[in-house]
Structure 1
Amino acid sequence: MFMRWNNIRYMYIRSHLYGFVLITFLLLAILLSVYVWFRPEWLDVQAVLFFMTTYACIGFIMSVYAGFQSSTGIKQRMDRLSMLIKLLSRGDFSARVEADHQDEMTGLAEDLNELGEKLQKQKDSIVKVADERAELAKSAHKAATIEERQRLARDLHDAVSQQLFALTMMAQATEKIFDKKPDKAKHQLHEITQMALQAQTEMRALLLHLRPVYLSGESLSEGVHSLIEELKQKCSVQFFVDIEDNLNLSDTSEEHVFRVLQEALSNILRHANASTVHVKMSVVDDRVFVHIGDNGIGFRAEDKQATKASYGLKTMRERCEEIGGDFSIRSREGEGTHIDMRVPRLREDIG
């Protein structure tokens, strides 16, 4: 109700009424002065009262009418400007308003029209950039997929394929000497068994890369435990997992940490020759501390083993740094390998 009485139309009517009241008092003062000073016969109290009453009635009606009429045009123009602002706020940047007068509101209308044109251009630019980024993302994903396939193909050729070829050669040689030299054949069968186990471990490690990269709705803790349980059923390595509750990581951070863990476990299965693996995730201040350690053979930077794992280590470091984390790795021959990450948490008041 109060807002209605404060709109532009009623403001115009009130301004006309203020002028009418001032003129009424001024006219009344003039008539009273003439009556007091000159006392003309035609001017008496009744005439003054009649005149003022008639003037007040007609003047009130005319003031309201004049205020209503004079505010109609400007109210319509303001309504058009208000509608234009609403359309712009809703994203309809093609809306325009006609500027048919030469006053301040015309300047405001022109400014809003110009703003709409600029916003439309910015919108078109953003859409264009978004389309380009989408195309780049598709190209990057395709390139990453091809690169990953090529890496898996190289690993299969360098490891599993060569081991299977060696198994075939040793099996053929063992078959030839089985009757003549049973002791040597038995020794070669033992070597064949070990090579088969190694090939099986290599294959499981490579298949680990083909697991879904994403957690598929699971929390990080649930995803890690599911992955570890799957590996326990397929290999003889002992896993010790300690993950605190309420890690409070963003979805992107959880995905990256999970992918780093996959890569680390794959390297351990393929290269470390470890019997135990420790996975620990704990909250330290405003960060999540992630530790992945094994008791394997370890490596030195100049070793061939380190060269094989260098691509995976580089990928893990890049993933960690992408989410604002710190990545470090420690390894010595005969003392295993230990990977540490510190990843920022979400703030409690935000998360």
Structure 2
Amino acid sequence: MTAHTPVDPIDHAIRMVEEERRRIARDLHDGPAQALTNLSMRLNLIQRLLVNRPEMASSEIDKVNHGILQAVNEIRRLIFDLRPISIDELGVIQATRELCHRFAREWNVRIQVESDDATYFQFSAAKQMIVFRLITEMLNNVHKHAEATHIQVRFTYQPSAWRVSVTDNGKGFDTHAIPQGRYGILGLRERAELLGGTLRIESTIGEGSTFTIEIPQM
């Protein structure tokens, strides 16, 4: 296994902020901005149809209305990502359950969350937020790459550490041949190391994958 240089907390924090900025810009460009551009083109079409083919205008109006609802839902998702579920109020395990409930509905996949006794999860709200971000990123990776129909998130307590794993039944991949930048592996590893933890990846082509974060109790 290749040795990794220890993560400097300040450098890491700056890098995470910049990554979030780039991700939000990309999501806005690929999502609502593109959708609104398409809706503007459809409105121009409707304007012409009202003059020449009024019977077709109604169908196009329905499509525009559907597109607007999709754009609104995407904007709400981005707002949720900027202001996630309150870790202070719920704790990371319950917050993860609510996140998975939303993702399961939006992605039409089964997501199961299992946990040992949450009272042993003795981390500050800030550290629990990092864990929550890790889980969110792992779930998004599954959604983007794995083509899975079932995902399991598991919190497992050990006397000296917590393990948080995300397992899917997707297409899997060769862990020795991951393209540079694919799956956000570097970001996941750096976030885990910021908590003094480690990232382990297990995957078999055609049989799914498991991403496991091990975090020492402090």
Name the SS for the 1:324 alignment partner: coil
Structure 1 pair 156–333 and aligned structure 2 pair: CA distance change class (3 A): farther
Separation in 1, partners of 2:86, 2:14: 17
- Give the AA of the match of 2:87: L
In structure 2, what is the equivalent of residue 291 of structure 1?
165
Aligned mate of 2:148, from 240, 262, 274: 274
Name the SS for the 1:263 alignment partner: helix
Name the SS for the 2:137 alignment partner: helix
Which has the larger Rg?
1
Aligned mate of 1:145, from 17, 31, 51: 17
The answer (yes or no) to whether the contact 1:296–1:336 under 8 Å persists in 2 is yes
Separation in 1, partners of 2:164, 2:16: 26
The answer (yes or no) to whether the contact 1:213–1:259 under 8 Å persists in 2 is no
The answer (yes or no) to whether the contact 2:170–2:208 under 8 Å persists in 1 is yes
Unaligned runs of 5+ in 1: 1-135, 168-198, 347-351
In structure 2, what is the equivalent of residue 59 of structure 1?
none
- Please show how residues 179-328 of structure 1 align to structure 2 within 5 Å: 207=78, 209-212=81-84, 215-245=87-117, 246-251=119-124, 252-300=126-174, 301-302=176-177, 306-307=179-180, 309-310=182-183, 312-328=184-200
The answer (yes or no) to whether the contact 1:280–1:292 under 8 Å persists in 2 is yes
- Give the AA of the match of 2:199: F
The C-alpha deviation readout for 1:99-147, integer Å capped at 9, x for no partner, is xxxxxxxxxxxxxxxxxxxxxxxxxxxxxxxxxxxxx96x986764343
Aligned residues: 171
Structure 1 pair 291–143 and aligned structure 2 pair: CA distance change class (3 A): closer
The answer (yes or no) to whether the contact 1:239–1:278 under 8 Å persists in 2 is yes
In structure 1, what is the equivalent of residue 214 of structure 2?
342
Separation in 2, partners of 1:330, 1:140: 25
Identical counterparts, % of pairs: 28
Separation in 1, partners of 2:16, 2:85: 13
The C-alpha deviation readout for 1:146-174, integer Å capped at 9, x for no partner, is 432224434666x769x98xx9xxxxxxx
In structure 2, what is the equivalent of residue 329 of structure 1?
201
Unaligned runs of 5+ in 2: 1-8, 39-69
What is the RMSD computed on CA atoms of the aligned residues? 3.6
Separation in 2, partners of 1:243, 1:221: 8
TM-score, reference length from structure 2: 0.63
TM-score, reference length from structure 1: 0.41
Separation in 2, partners of 1:144, 1:213: 19
Structure 1 pair 156–271 and aligned structure 2 pair: CA distance change class (3 A): farther
Structure 1 pair 233–151 and aligned structure 2 pair: CA distance change class (3 A): closer
The C-alpha deviation readout for 1:2-31, integer Å capped at 9, x for no partner, is xxxxxxxxxxxxxxxxxxxxxxxxxxxxxx
In structure 2, what is the equivalent of residue 66 of structure 1?
none
